[in-house]
């Protein structure tokens, strides 16, 4: 395996039969830069071809799983690969199909993670938000600390949720719509209660219990687990997960051109010009959602 800059790899479980990928940008709350995602995809491909790896755990270093896509990434490296598609016309206006094509490059990584011939487990603690939530939702199984925060605040103006579109397949329609329309986050404990994830455990027990859970699944050989996974995934794919995720990516691109998204983009520019970073823009976005009368009383 090559040396990676943004992820860590190790083996755990009985005879090292569980592979573990750690998203390793703790200083950025494991924000998903294009470089990190391309390294992640490369590691998945390598372990998919390794018969000694039966189950793969994905977790985050530091204070959380991932706070989402990196909104302040440099324009070089792998990020430049995606930005190549974000073309403009002679007036400098962004073009829909360029944005859509760039986004589909990342969706392809998510869909590969969904369909690879290994059982995958997302181990969530701290923040699991926006793109981080999208990534976790594409794992076969998800476990979390009881106090983890899971949600997609990017729905409040940045766009739609691409792979979070699987929520209608795993939770009820009413709750799925509520989370989409508000961008609210829920705790790991609530996520387990509504069926979004498999288990929520005390944070101090999360790592040990996740490895034990993965090791239990890894009693079966890698090839047998791959067949069982393919069998399960076919049901959901026949229900439209591929078409839904791709359609959701198209709508994510289209959402960049709404009144709300234009207002958000301008706030981001103002915040960066003022030297406040994204903090000022995020305060503008999230302040109206503080407190939740529906859950109070």
Predicted local confidence at residue 61, as pLDDT: 98
Predicted local confidence at residue 266, as pLDDT: 87
Give the torsion through C-alpha atoms of 114, 169, 260, 76, to 10 deg. 0
Predicted local confidence at residue 70, as pLDDT: 85
Between CA 6 and CA 42 the distance in angstroms is 12
Q: What is the mean pLDDT of residues 74-99?
A: 67
Q: What is the DSSP string of 257-295?
A: GSHHHHHHHHHHHHHHHTT-TTHHHHHHHHGGGSS-GGG
pTM (2 d.p.): 0.86
The encoded tokens of residue 210 equal 């996740």
Phi, psi (deg, nearest 5) at residue 5: -90, -30
Is 268 contained in some domain?
no
Comparison of pLDDT for 32 and 164, the residue scoring more: 32
**Using 50, 70 and 90 to split pLDDT, how confident is the model at 178?**
very high
Tens digits of per-residue pLDDT, 98-139?
A: 778 888 888 899 999 999 999 999 999 999 999 999 999 999
Between CA 147 and CA 60 the distance in angstroms is 15
On the question of pLDDT at 26 being above 90, the answer is yes
Terminus-to-terminus CA distance in the chain, angstroms?
Answer: 53
Is 297 contained in some domain?
no
Is 279 contained in some domain?
no
Is 186 contained in some domain?
yes
On the question of pLDDT at 275 being above 90, the answer is no
Tens digits of per-residue pLDDT, 234-253?
A: 988 887 777 777 777 787 77
Counting the structural domains of the chain, the total is 1
Dihedral sign, CA of 170, 172, 173, 174? negative
Is 28 contained in some domain?
yes
Is 272 contained in some domain?
no
Range(s) of the domain holding residue 158: 7-257
Is 98 contained in some domain?
yes
CATH number of 134's domain: 3.90.226.10
Is 1 contained in some domain?
no
């Amino acid at each position: 395996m090559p040396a990676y800059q943004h992820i860590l790899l190790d083996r755990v479980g009985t005879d090292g039969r569980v592979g573990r990928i750690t998203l390793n940008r703790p200083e950025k709350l494991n924000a998903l830069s294009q470089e990190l995602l391309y390294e992640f995809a490369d590691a998945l491909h390598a372990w998919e071809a390794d018969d000694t790896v039966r189950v793969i755990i994905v977790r985050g270093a530091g204070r959380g799983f991932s706070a989402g896509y990196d909104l302040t990434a440099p324009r070089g490296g792998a990020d430049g690969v995606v930005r190549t598609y974000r073309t403009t016309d002679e007036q400098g206006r962004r073009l829909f199909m360029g944005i859509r094509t760039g986004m589909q490059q990342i969706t392809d990584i998510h869909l590969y993670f969904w369909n690879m011939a290994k059982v995958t487990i997302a181990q969530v603690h701290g923040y699991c938000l926006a793109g981080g939530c999208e990534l976790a939702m594409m794992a076969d199984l998800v476990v979390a600390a009881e106090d983890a925060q899971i949600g997609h605040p990017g729905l409040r103006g940045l766009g739609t949720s691409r792979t979070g579109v699987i929520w209608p397949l795993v939770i009820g329609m009413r709750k799925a719509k509520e989370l989409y329309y508000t961008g609210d986050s829920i705790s790991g404990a609530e996520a387990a209660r509504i069926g979004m994830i498999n288990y929520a455990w005390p944070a101090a027990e999360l790592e040990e219990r996740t490895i034990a859970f993965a090791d239990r699944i890894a009693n079966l050989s890698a090839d047998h687990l791959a067949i069982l996974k393919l069998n399960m995934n076919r049901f959901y794919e026949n229900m439209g997960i591929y078409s839904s995720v791709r359609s959701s990516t198209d709508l994510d691109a289209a959402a960049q051109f709404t009144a709300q998204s234009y207002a958000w983009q301008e706030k981001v520019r103002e915040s960066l010009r003022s030297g406040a970073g994204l903090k000022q823009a995020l305060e503008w976005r999230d302040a109206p959602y503080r407190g939740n009368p529906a859950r109070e009383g």
